[in-house]
Amino acid sequence: MLAADTVVRVDVSGAGILSEAGVGVGTPEAEVLARYRGMIRVEPHPYTGPDGHYLIVDDPSRPGLRM
């Protein structure tokens, strides 16, 4: 998704695309939490209640980027 001339969102729905930490679709949640330890937080999903949540990564060395 673009806002003016800036990419503000990228959706990945299939396997094969990995983050720099080697995380992608299908990576177990425990592994995601371990690979991003100290940079990740868990927030509830507003529509799914207790069944769903977001894993949000903020890397302090890369201000303005969020995954």
Say how far residue 1 (Cα) sits from the centre of its chain.
15
- With residue 35 as reference, give the H or E element that holds it: helix 29-35
What pTM, to 2 d.p., does this model score?
A: 0.80
> What span, in angstroms and rounded, lies between the C-alpha atoms of 60 and 11?
22
> What span, in angstroms and rounded, lies between the C-alpha atoms of 32 and 36?
6
pLDDT tens column, 6-46: 888 889 999 999 999 999 999 999 999 999 999 999 999 99
> What span, in angstroms and rounded, lies between the C-alpha atoms of 54 and 67?
10
Q: Residue 49: is its pLDDT beyond 80?
A: no
To which residue do tokens 């094969």 refer? 16
To which residue do tokens 């980027």 refer? 65
